[in-house]
Amino acid sequence: MLRTKLPVATTLVVVATLGLTAGCGSDGGGSAEGDSKGGTTVGKALAQLPVEPSEEPTPTPTEDPTDEPTDEPTGNPLVTPDVKMGNCGWDSSNYPYAEVKIENSSSTKQDYNIFVGFTDKDDEVVTTGMSSGTSVEGNGRKTVKVKGLVADSAKKAKTCKISLATKRDALD
């Protein structure tokens, strides 16, 4: 067997690295003295191996779900069902806009905050727009025009989507 010698500098670096890391994982902060872990670890956030699964895996997939949903899906949880998208287009200054229809389902006056994203054919955002504090009387209807914050002179925006719409009791 052919044996090569390590240069002295390399040997010193290896010895120093081993000496510095010998206490990693001890609660004493650098010393292995009093460490009940019985060896060196590479960090305190690592799990003890082997990790046991919390449930036994299913031997073969089944067609039937194993749980029963407790309620019906409500759509996008960030958009109140009172708000619906209307027509979209560009104004005379090439700013995209969206006509958003609000139908207040509450019997009391509500304030609505609406954020709209204007996206291109690849679903990339061209600009966004917002309407804040739009008040609608109880059981009332209103259409608001949400204008993009940036002009779109190349008319890249192909779709408009409501990304967030919230309502709350009116403050007045």
- pLDDT tens figures, 114-137: 999 999 999 999 999 999 999 999
Cis peptide before 61 (omega within 30 of 0): no
Average per-residue pLDDT in the chain?
Answer: 76
For residues 135 and 120, the answer to whether their CB atoms sit within 8 Å is no
**Would the pTM count as exceeding 0.95?**
no
The residue extents of the domains of the chain are 83-169
Average pLDDT over residues 53-81: 64
pLDDT class for 167, splitting at 50, 70, 90?
Answer: very high
Considering only the top CATH level, what class is 83-169?
mainly beta
